[in-house]
Structure 1
Amino acid sequence: MGFVIDAAVYIDAPADLVWQVITDLPRYGEWNPFVKRCESTLEPGAPIDMLVTVIGSSPRKQREWIRTNIPGRELSYSMKPVPPGALRSLRSHTVTPAGEHRTRYESHFELDGWLHPVVAAVLGRNLRNGFEGMTAGIQLRAESLRTG
């Protein structure tokens, strides 16, 4: 089993609004403490270019590739595997309606391959903090848009 970070929160906002926050890439810098900039067409197979701030380091460019985009439901992307099976990742956002004005948001990240223990040892805590901050940011952003 690889290195996995899972989080789920209930958001007091409709699912379509939560989806809007996740896919409004130009606004990431306004609410996202982890991914300061993000650009993509979100088409499966297209790149997603991010400026990621891992706590304790300078922002760094990260390019991954869109795997799935099921509008209103799921967005996932992954890095190109580092050969030969050294490192691979998967990141997904899942949105599930939990009532008319309530949504369950699930954040999933996994890192696998024979090199993943080294990356997890060096960056694990910072990655966990980053993904937790992003999850909290999605919740706060969607709830503020609903009430704003």
Structure 2
Amino acid sequence: MAFVIDITVDIDAPAELVWRVLTDVDKYGEWNPFCLECSTTLEPGTPIDMKVRLVGSTPKTQREYIRTHTPGHEFSYSMKPAPLGLLRSHRSHTLTDLGDGRTRYDSHFQLDGPLAPVVSGLLGSALKRGFGGMTAAVKTRSETLKAAARD
């Protein structure tokens, strides 16, 4: 059975601004409580290297691979599948322009494979907290940048 975390938030900022927040990975350390560092070109097939805080205070380095990238709309990535399909992951970020300078941000994470229940049992709470924290921070960062641009 898959372990899925879906979080959606409406943001009072235009999609172009929210997209810049999500894709300016060099600045993740300034605002992102979950993914402290990130490096990628967003080109499908290339790596996305991250330093994430799951449990405790020691960040974990992680390499995954970009699967899709539609500029201004979405990007997704996955871990290299474990042998025999024991564990697979999929993470996506999708934006929908709601008009009137508002954006819907959909955050999706999924683990599949026979080891998914074990991993979700061990790390499920930390993953939910991490992805929830990042989603909230995307909203805060985007709305703060929008307000600062008006001043």
| TM bucket normalised to smaller | over 0.9
Q: C-alpha separation between the residues in 1 aligned to 2:44 and 2:33?
A: 25
**TM-score scaled by structure 2?**
0.96
How far is the alpha carbon of 1:57 from its aligned partner? Answer: 4.7
**TM-score scaled by structure 1?**
0.98
Letter in structure 1 aligned against 2:128: R
Q: Which residue of 1 aligns with 2:35?
A: 35
Percent identity at matched positions? 61
Q: Which residue of 1 aligns with 2:80?
A: 80
Runs of 4 or more consecutive aligned structure 1 residues displaced over 2 Å after TM superposition: none
Q: Which residue of 2 aligns with 1:116?
A: 116
Q: Secondary structure at the match of 1:33?
A: coil
Q: Secondary structure at the match of 2:64?
A: strand
Letter in structure 2 aligned against 1:16: E
Q: Which residue of 1 aligns with 2:26?
A: 26
| TM-superposition CA deviations, 1:91-111 (whole Å, max 9, x none) | 000000001310000000000
Letter in structure 1 aligned against 2:29: G
Deviates more, 1:56-65 or 1:85-94: 56-65
Q: C-alpha separation between the residues in 1 aligned to 2:87 and 2:113?
A: 4
Consecutive unaligned residues of structure 2, counting only runs of 5 or more, are none
Q: C-alpha separation between the residues in 1 aligned to 2:122 and 2:67?
A: 27
Q: Which residue of 1 aligns with 2:147?
A: 147
Q: Which residue of 2 aligns with 1:126?
A: 126
Letter in structure 2 aligned against 1:136: A
How far is the alpha carbon of 1:55 from its aligned partner? Answer: 3.3
Aligned residues between the structures = 148
Q: Secondary structure at the match of 1:43?
A: coil
How far is the alpha carbon of 1:58 from its aligned partner? Answer: 1.1
| TM-superposition CA deviations, 1:106-137 (whole Å, max 9, x none) | 00000000001000000000000000000001
Consecutive unaligned residues of structure 1, counting only runs of 5 or more, are none
Q: C-alpha separation between the residues in 2 aligned to 1:55 and 1:30?
A: 20
